[in-house]
Structure 1
């Protein structure tokens, strides 16, 4: 078919051309004496994206799931009690991993469309006088439902209870796109991946680790090898890796971090908020609802849109792909067939978001949803035309 296929899934996301070109280079010697000249500044600069000065960030050749496993196996012991919540497919998968690795996971089930139950966490932590809970897990941005949770409030709950549990955060679809403050919020293990806000192919798992978590790893007895903090720390300290690293992805990461820092993180976050609000204006104009139950939960990186009764959301996604060459996200697990998702994170601007809305609008109409043609696109354009550019928004914040 003529033209381009457009990518608006909530991961993988669009790769800027300068990042793609930076990875188009011959293979290099990852044990050369000059390799640390490249890697050591990279290790330092990725900490800026996590907003940590006191911790360190490990880069694993894996997806974010590998970083999940690294966080658990390096800091906890078999049988340890952990507090988790489940309100979407990815928070569900994290709880599943915890159980498979032998943790005693107390999982609070929450209606899909809401987020981390801070009040329930606070109550449970206050009641745990013996500090049996060793870690608290939070999914910052649940990609399946388009829900963002308040991690700072979870830190307050821990502090108010005087509880020493480690704080684990899944930031796969938030870090690099939504404000995330590892040091300020006292996050001990922060997980992310390369294929979302970092604007890269899948293949790098990132794990921010606090000094508290590094100390905990010394006493942890869970088996680990590939993901060992000790192994990667020793190698990274001299600028190398304990195994063959994906050098071309690392070269791309260098450029993606440069782009984020050049734009400025406050500007990056303001841009995502403004673009997300354009999508939300379009959904309102269509007369549809988001899966997120309240405005406080609405994500700035992905919108999960509920289709009317009698409409199969998977059909909307199929029509968008086959007829209009646009990839949207399908509904997952409990919301399969009920929602479709528009990813709006990474390398995006207003015109690209309007294209995503237009493609979704065409597919919705084709699938039998009664909406006025142009209503969503018009609402987004009105929003963008009446609001200042993201740089001005950030300056005013």
Structure 2
């Protein structure tokens, strides 16, 4: 057995939490009515805006990503409202279902599990909405399940091209801090995220960034409740009301440490470049494994076009059940946990055992990524799974 030692979860969230973040949270409860916690909040909000590349507003919730969906949805919609959901994976469908559960009428454009959103299809659907009933376009920047990366700027251009008044709302839960994202420059009105992926903080914080156009569009939203109301969180004079009650104190201290690392030390542009490089190393390895003998094992990247692949997570396929066999081996014998192929086949379908996800998001570097790739190759050797050669040396060359 060689799994003894620090285990590494190469799953797409919760991601690796830096020791500095854990240490910042390891403290006694603070005063929630004044002092250090209050003093750090102005800078924290400003850094959250820097992360999203916006000059507008941000609301912070005690919630996960599903809570961030609900916060955005309840602040934007009223009974009888309509949305257009652009689906490229399970979580794009998930946001659509969450909106429907609240009573929104949702029209879907489903682009499958391997291809990005087609802006021309969006333009066509909106052009056909001559009465302007569609209030919001919902989309994922990156869908965690498929690793498809979409282009919000192109979707905004499609909306504007046909003169439609729809708000553009983007889920960046899998991508923020990893893939390039420019909220204001791309014309995004609402963006949601959660703390446990590229933001390098434990699960428990949900975020909604919004501009004045979104504030105006949601001014009369009748599904808004006191807890989810984003106007209270961005306009409240009292600290207590900015969180709908007691603040998530220790998460905020951890988030402060994470943003110090990401914004002020590494810099967000450098973080984008790091994730892009680590992603290319992973893609290069799987391309090599899929050559020659690897064709018999069905090894390949889920997304064919590199320009449409996430820099935070990579979804890959094998002939079933090889992906599950590899995941079980690396967890038991190498101390590495890989992501399941979530949403790539119906639940209970044996085909699901042919997919896995490799995360390279957040607090991740060269030796961690090469270690994961080495564990996967070792598993294939141990399980006698045919694969192409030279993967590790090619990945190393990308990172050299």
Mapped to 2, the partners of 1:281 and 1:113 lie a distance apart of 18
Match of residue 295 from structure 2? none
Does the 8 A contact of 1:217 with 1:229 survive in 2? Answer: no
Q: Structure 1's 34 and 316: CA in aligned 2 closer, same or farther, altered over 3 A?
A: closer
Secondary structure at the residue paired with 1:137? strand
Match of residue 296 from structure 1? 307
Secondary structure at the residue paired with 1:345? coil
Mapped to 1, the partners of 2:54 and 2:246 lie a distance apart of 26
Q: Which runs of 4+ in 1 moved over 6 A?
A: none
Does the 8 A contact of 2:7 with 2:336 survive in 1? Answer: yes
* TM score, norm. by length of structure 1: 0.92
Match of residue 97 from structure 1? 98
Residue 354 (structure 1) aligned with residue 367 (structure 2)? no
Could you list the per-position Cα deviations for residues 1-29 of structure 1 after superposition, in whole angstroms to 9, with x for gaps in the alignment? 52111121111111111121111111112
RMSD: 1.7
Residue 328 (structure 1) aligned with residue 328 (structure 2)? no
Mapped to 2, the partners of 1:317 and 1:283 lie a distance apart of 15
* TM score, norm. by length of structure 2: 0.91
In the TM superposition, residue 372 of structure 1 has moved relative to its aligned partner by 4.8
Match of residue 83 from structure 1? 84
Mapped to 2, the partners of 1:344 and 1:318 lie a distance apart of 19
Q: Alignment partner for residue 31 of structure 1, among 25, 30, 33? A: 33
In the TM superposition, residue 104 of structure 1 has moved relative to its aligned partner by 0.8
Could you list the per-position Cα deviations for residues 117-156 of structure 1 after superposition, in whole angstroms to 9, with x for gaps in the alignment? 3221011122222211100011100111111001110010
Secondary structure at the residue paired with 1:179? coil
Mapped to 2, the partners of 1:314 and 1:94 lie a distance apart of 27
Q: Alignment partner for residue 366 of structure 1, among 382, 388, 391? A: 382
Unaligned runs of 5+ in 1: 386-397
Q: How does 1:248-263 map to 2 (within 5 A)?
A: 248-261=250-263, 262-263=265-266
Q: How many positions carry a matched residue from both structures? A: 382
Q: Alignment partner for residue 269 of structure 1, among 269, 272, 296? A: 272
In the TM superposition, residue 236 of structure 1 has moved relative to its aligned partner by 6.2
Match of residue 283 from structure 2? 280
Match of residue 166 from structure 2? 165
Match of residue 58 from structure 1? 59
Q: How does 1:1-397 map to 2 (within 5 A)?
A: 2-32=4-34, 35-53=37-55, 55-235=56-236, 238=239, 240-261=242-263, 262-287=265-290, 288-307=299-318, 309-335=319-345, 336-372=352-388, 375-385=390-400
Secondary structure at the residue paired with 1:359? helix
In the TM superposition, residue 213 of structure 1 has moved relative to its aligned partner by 1.2
Does the 8 A contact of 2:145 with 2:344 survive in 1? Answer: no
Mapped to 1, the partners of 2:178 and 2:138 lie a distance apart of 20
